[in-house]
């Protein structure tokens, strides 16, 4: 089961080619979501490598940060940004549930989705630039935060959070992660962020705050999706990851 869950997580969340899992069920889906921060380690290492290279070449911090964020986007085939854009378009489209879900499923990006994407990427890049300008360690922290932001998936898939659709990506994963496991994932995320904060010369509580702010952003998004869509979708998963990443980076910047 572990091998199937690992392949499912890597294949879903990264562009790394892996063999498909032999079986996909809700138990394996739950474990895949819990393993998400580890499964995207290749993307985190890529972001850190770009940051270190830019620092070594003495590139402007903002240029390096944009390249690092671009590497993260390429690492997941822009899957999560597409989810962010579709989710915001759905929220902006109409108060009618079916109309909103139809807009999200269309795959096109409207003005609201484009603005949200630019704003979130801008926040992420600006925060990474701030980390890079302080020390080379900022590059490593940025890569680690990319991985930790995937803890958002445990919240999206927590039991009690319904799926907005009976089909689609979200239906396979929703309500699979036990509440105590979700809490444990976020507790570990907070501890790691606190350690990273100390490593780059910040007080430990800055890392804890980063985790709390990110979790709050994800909870607000999930609550909004529940009210407007009747639950979460695969697009909401992607949006939650991008929001969590932006929140963590800004809190540490």
Please tell me the predicted confidence (pLDDT) of residue 110.
83
CA proximity to 82, closest of 239, 249, 247:
239
Backbone phi and psi for residue 38, each to the nearest 5 degrees, phi listed first: -80, -35
- This prediction has a pTM of 0.95
Cβ contacts of 215 within 8 Å, gap of 6 or more = 155, 186, 244
CA proximity to 50, closest of 127, 138, 126, 148:
138
Buried b (16+ CB within 10 A) or exposed e, 111-126: ebbeebbeebbebbbb
Please determine, for residue 168, whether its predicted confidence score (pLDDT) is greater than 70. no
- pLDDT, tens only, 17-28: 888 888 888 899
Asked if 164 and 231 touch (Cβ cutoff 8 Å), the reply is yes
End-to-end CA distance of the chain: 39
DSSP 151: G
What is the longest distance spanned by two Cα atoms in the chain?
Answer: 52
Please determine, for residue 11, whether its predicted confidence score (pLDDT) is greater than 70. yes
Please tell me the predicted confidence (pLDDT) of residue 21.
84
Share of the chain above pLDDT 70, in %: 99
Across 21-35, 102-116, 202-216, 239-253, least confident range: 102-116
CA proximity to 248, closest of 179, 180, 184, 202:
202
Share of the chain above pLDDT 90, in %: 75
- pLDDT, tens only, 206-226: 999 999 999 999 999 999 999
Cβ contacts of 99 within 8 Å, gap of 6 or more = 93
Average pLDDT, whole number, for the chain?
93
Report the length, in residues, of the chain: 253
CA proximity to 37, closest of 133, 169, 149:
149
Please determine, for residue 126, whether its predicted confidence score (pLDDT) is greater than 80. yes
Q: Both tokens of residue 191?
A: 């501890």
Host domain of residue 211 = 2-252
Asked if 44 and 144 touch (Cβ cutoff 8 Å), the reply is yes
Count of domains observed in the chain = 1
């Amino acid at each position: 089961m572990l091998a199937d869950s690992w392949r499912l997580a890597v294949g879903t969340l990264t562009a790394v080619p892996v063999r498909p899992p032999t079986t996909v069920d809700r138990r394996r889906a739950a474990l895949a979501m819990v393993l998400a921060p580890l499964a995207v380690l290749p993307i985190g290492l890529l972001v850190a490598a770009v940051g270190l290279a830019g620092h070594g070449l003495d590139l402007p911090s903002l240029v390096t940060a944009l390249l690092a964020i671009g590497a993260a986007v390429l690492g997941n085939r822009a899957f999560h940004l597409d989810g962010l854009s579709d989710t915001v378009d759905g929220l902006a489209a109409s108060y009618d549930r079916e109309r909103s879900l139809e807009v999200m499923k269309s795959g096109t990006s409207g003005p609201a989705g484009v603005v949200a994407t630019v704003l979130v990427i801008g926040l992420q890049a600006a925060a990474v630039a701030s980390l890079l300008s302080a020390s080379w360690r900022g590059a490593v922290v940025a890569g680690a935060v990319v991985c930790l932001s995937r803890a958002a998936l445990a919240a999206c898939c927590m039991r009690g959070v319904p799926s907005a659709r009976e089909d689609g990506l979200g239906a396979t994963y929703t309500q699979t992660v036990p509440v105590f496991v979700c809490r444990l994932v976020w507790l570990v995320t907070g501890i790691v962020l606190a350690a990273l904060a100390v490593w780059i010369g910040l007080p430990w509580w800055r890392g804890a705050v980063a985790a709390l702010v990110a979790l709050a952003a994800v909870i607000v998004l999930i609550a909004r999706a529940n009210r407007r869509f009747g639950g979460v979708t695969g697009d909401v998963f992607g949006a939650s990851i991008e929001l969590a990443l932006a929140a963590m980076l800004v809190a540490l910047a």
